Structure 1
């Protein structure tokens, strides 16, 4: 499947792996893909984000919101609200865990000392089930729109099409699957090489 990726999409995947590795994460998740996408410039995905009110220089609030979701161990606000209905205060749990183990302890970015992650013998993080699902959905998005190659815009579309913190954070900033599809395919405002 990787051979069908455009240069921009390949760079997103490589950058997601690097981000995961740099934070000590053991598994690349959808949030790593989104963080990598937020760094892109002059790509279809980047132009679509800008058209929806998220120019490159204005993406820091999205990064911060995503980091906050990661601190909650990847729980979406909906998950946290459902737990609150059961009397479980996620913010309090996060505070206690971080007090005992350090800030970001629930984000999944930390590995015990000496533990290697990813595929055996490779020392680099592997792709988690959710990240693989995003990449598979990106292929389906490209096929559905009769695009020959999978671009970074298809990865972005796939992130908005599945529940979870990346889609929630993007929606909070005006980037939904519907709005993104409209920008990408209903007039060509986000055309780039």
Structure 2
């Protein structure tokens, strides 16, 4: 599959690993893929981000990702669902942080390196890479570009897709904002 990746898509994967290493994460996540995508310039995904105003709101995106980490990876929909049955996630997070320190639910641990010395990708991050192939095939492309990775992140349920949607970057909006995109892209899940 990786032989189909464009240079920009490969740079996203390398950038995600760099982000994970920089924060001493124990694995590479979808969040790291998104942050690496936000670093690209002059690519199809960069054009889509600029068209939707995401580029100018990077700090807000990073803040929303940090808040989700603070909630232990719960999406806003998860927190709202729990609130619907009387569970206040904010209160729980505050009590846990009071007892165990800030970021106690963020999962910040020492990295667990594999024997190869490389950080593993989480199951959702691997799923995003696989989804990017399905997106590319659905769009009739023979390569996997940064735009396919971006669409895959938006198509997969979870914190990253929620944060993108909160910032106006739903799958449909991204697909329309991509240069040269016509209707008929496929949202495969």
User: TM-score, length-normalised on structure 1?
Assistant: 0.87
Q: Unaligned stretches of 5+ in structure 2?
A: 184-189
The equivalent position to 1:172 in structure 2, one of 166, 180, 186, is 166
Q: Is structure 2 residue 78 aligned with structure 1 residue 79?
A: yes
Deviation at 1:35, TM superposition (A): 1.3
Deviation at 1:88, TM superposition (A): 2.0
Q: Unaligned stretches of 5+ in structure 1?
A: 188-193
Distance in 1, Cα, partners of 2:40 & 2:52: 15
Q: 1:20·1:32 contact (CA, 8 Å) conserved in 2? A: yes
User: Structure 1, residues 31-89: CA drift from partner, whole Å, max 9, x if none?
Assistant: 1111111121111111111111223x432111111111111111101101111223222
RMSD: 1.7
**Which structure 2 residues correspond to residues 97-116 of structure 1 after superposition, within 5 A?**
97-111=96-110, 116=111
SS in 2 for 1:27: coil
The equivalent position to 1:138 in structure 2, one of 132, 141, 156, is 132
Q: 2:47·2:177 contact (CA, 8 Å) conserved in 1? A: no
Distance in 2, Cα, partners of 1:48 & 1:11: 17
Which residue of the partner structure matches residue 47 of structure 2?
47
Aligned length: 181
Which residue of the partner structure matches residue 93 of structure 1?
92
Distance in 2, Cα, partners of 1:105 & 1:92: 14
Distance in 2, Cα, partners of 1:92 & 1:24: 28
Which residue of the partner structure matches residue 186 of structure 2?
none
SS in 1 for 2:105: coil
Q: 2:20·2:26 contact (CA, 8 Å) conserved in 1? A: yes
Q: 2:6·2:143 contact (CA, 8 Å) conserved in 1? A: yes
Deviation at 1:123, TM superposition (A): 3.3
Which residue of the partner structure matches residue 153 of structure 1?
147
